[in-house]
Amino acid sequence: MSPQRLAFFDVDGTLTTDITLFRFLRFYLVARGHGPQVYEQRRQRLKAMTAVGVPREATNRAYFTNFRDADAATVTDLARVWFERELDQGGFLNPSAVDALHRHRSRGETVVLVSGSFPAVLLPLAEHLGVTDVRATTPEILHGRYTGEVLRTPMIGAAKADAARLAASVHGADLADCTAYGDHLSDLPILNAVGTPVAVAGDPRLDQHARAHHWTVLPGAPEPPELPLSECATPGDDERRARAVGTGTVRAVRTA
């Protein structure tokens, strides 16, 4: 019997050509009636944290304060509408990484998404790609509403390597037989944890490291155009319900 093999994929900048967290936040805020300047103010606050050296784990936690007291079902519905509109516009998925994912699936390997993004945003993507195992940052939800807090450690850096080790244990795989894809230097822990690391071009520091270690480097892709603000309008109840019907079922969403 051949060994069980897993293929781990980062999402933002790897499978997608832009950051899901921020593309969805812009869509969500406009759909909830905020002017575009509200998104810009909140995005700049997070950029300022990064600029002064705040760790990515901390900025990830800060991101979820944007959803404090938000109705979880509404976020889920709007995330499905957002993702369909990204697909309709085109350019949001990175063909080189998506093709690699499909090759792994065609060989019978289990694909696992490992991302600092969150389930509401990731599940439509996972269903579209036929992936049933997602390891993500998990916002806290109480009584059907986001609290603005995060459960456990955000799925960034070392947490991704921990998630890979846990997934390998669950699936009965040896990480030496597994593959991982990432686009940022913070993905090094999971890339170093597997037998076959693959970089997606975009971060010069990771690109340099990958070439120095003779890793495969897949091409990145240019950022897609922003969704027009008209596409971020709040959908009616009938449209929202229709678009909220998924095409598949994701079996697992975990934090680590």
Give the start-to-end residue ranges of the domains of the chain. Answer: 6-254
Give the chain's end-to-end CA distance (angstroms, integer): 28
Q: Please report which helix (H) or strand (E) contains residue 6, including its range.
A: strand 6-9
Q: Which CATH architecture has domain 6-254?
A: 3-Layer(aba) Sandwich (3.40)
Q: What is the mean pLDDT of residues 209-236?
A: 87
**Measuring CA to CA, which residue among 38, 120, 86, 94 is closest to residue 228?**
86
Residue 129 has pLDDT above 50, yes or no: yes
Cα torsion through 42, 61, 197, 254, rounded to 10: -120
The residues near 189 (Cβ < 8 Å, ≥ 6 apart) are: 157, 158, 160, 161
Q: What are phi and psi of 133, to 5 degrees?
A: -130, 115
3-class SS of residue 135: strand
What confidence tens digit (pLDDT) does each residue in 172-196 have?
Answer: 999 999 999 999 999 999 999 999 9
What would the two tokens of residue 59 be? 């900025």
pLDDT at 234: 64
Task: Quickly count: other Cβ atoms within 10 Å of residue 128's Cβ.
Answer: 16
Q: What residue has token string 């036929």?
A: 130
Residue 251 has pLDDT above 50, yes or no: no
The whole-angstrom separation of Cα 182 and Cα 191 is 7
Q: Please report which helix (H) or strand (E) contains residue 147, including its range.
A: strand 145-151
**Measuring CA to CA, which residue among 212, 215, 175, 210 is closest to residue 195?**
175
The whole-angstrom separation of Cα 93 and Cα 200 is 13
3-class SS of residue 183: coil
Residue 244 has pLDDT above 90, yes or no: no
The residues near 125 (Cβ < 8 Å, ≥ 6 apart) are: 11, 15, 16, 20, 83, 113
Residue type, 44: Q
Q: pLDDT-based confidence at 228, cuts 50/70/90?
A: confident
Chain centroid to CA 44: how far? Answer: 20
What confidence tens digit (pLDDT) does each residue in 103-124 have?
Answer: 999 999 999 999 999 999 999 9
